[in-house]
Amino acid sequence: MPPINILILTAPFGNGHLVAANSLAETFKEEGCTVSICDIFTESHPVLTSNISKTHHRLFSIGSTYSYFYYGIDKLSATKLINLYRLFGYQTLKRVIKTFKPDIIVNTFPVLSAPEFMRKYQLGVPVINVVTDFCCHRLWITDNFDRIYLATDDLKERLVKMNIPVNKLEVTGIPIRNDFEKPFDKQATLEKYGLPDSPFTLLVSAGAKGVLKDLDLICKDLSTLSSIQILVVCGTNLKLKTKIDAMNLSNVKTFGYVETIHELYKLANLMITKPGGITLSEASACNLPLILVKPVPGQEKENAAYFSKKGAALIAKNKEEILEKTVFLLKNPSKLDEMRHNLQVFRSYASSQKIVRDLLSRYVN
């Protein structure tokens, strides 16, 4: 039997889509499949995509402006203008499909050219969506998708109420790196990073690109708290790391981009971060309570509201609230225990394996 070819389509707008794509690719390969990951946007229009990505980042930083971008696209999906987006990357996709001959196409970003291509040429290749947030943008659920994988039963119920066929929906959780589910040796990890075995470790994550605003000021406030150590992940923002290091805060240790980020998650008692879907799934896998910082209207706000409603996270609107809510949790360990308990709702083991095995059992003879 020839290898099964899996084409995974993704995009450069946020790190989470690529994390999910890589996790699925690794699992497909473990099952003997041949996998190709394609950033269809960059491959089709590199200059335009670079500009869109920079604009997306700026809009996201502004916050309220990003709301118009996010929900504007949501409204766009109900108009004829959506046909322009359906054709974005179409010729590149046509070339990739002709060369690679995929048996299954998986989207970790809503690439509408894939189902449009299958509709036009009737090739019979299933097109699958893997939603990477705890909410579901309208672009994920347009026509001609064969199957959609979701984070929670609540989200599934929401889509059923929107008349999405229930037989297209499967709850698996969001794919994250397999390392989050591997055994953990705390003492060896402390030694690896040269850390003391502190009674309380606070992890502050600025995201892969270090986009958490005023992180230096936040660290200065948090450093006044006694009997805790603070681990700060600045991502690829080395300028931010240098700025915090120059403050010489005795209980603060900074990191750049960390490949083994799961180790820091598992050392921590509490994490301060932005509410991206992948980050929330990783924290859930580690049973790590969360303070979610100033969620941007759009998927961040919806993710944060959902975790807050379930009692798994607190939301802080500014740096003053970050300090206030951190102090509150330090003084109320029973509240932290309650948040850990509530995180169990989101903990989904082996999401990538569930998706991969379900797909192979359904579409491969």
48 pLDDT band, cuts 50/70/90, is confident
Q: Please choose, from the candidates 124, 223, 230, 167, the residue with its C-alpha nearest in 3D space to the C-alpha of residue 358.
A: 167
Instruction: Say if pTM beats, i.e. exceeds, 0.75.
Output: yes
Q: Check residue 87 and give its pLDDT.
A: 78
Q: Tokens representing 203?
A: 């992890």
| 87 phi, psi to nearest 5 deg | -95, -5
Give the model's pLDDT for residue 77.
Answer: 60
**Residue 35: pLDDT above 60?**
yes
Strand partners, 9: 38, 107
Whether the CB-CB separation of 179 and 260 falls below 8 Å is answered with yes
Give strand pairing partners of 170. Answer: 149
Detail the DSSP E strand segments found in 161-289: 169-171, 201-205, 229-233, 252-255, 270-273
**Residue 115 contacts residue 7 (beta carbons within 8 Å):** no
Nearest C-alpha neighbor of 355 from the set 8, 3, 113:
8
**Mean pLDDT of all residues in 293-314:** 93
pLDDT given at position 72: 63
Rounded Cα distance between 312 and 331, Å, is 17
| Domains in the chain: ranges and CATH | 5-174+349-363 (3.40.50.2000), 181-346 (3.40.50.2000)
User: Confidence band (pLDDT; 50, 70, 90) for 352?
Assistant: very high
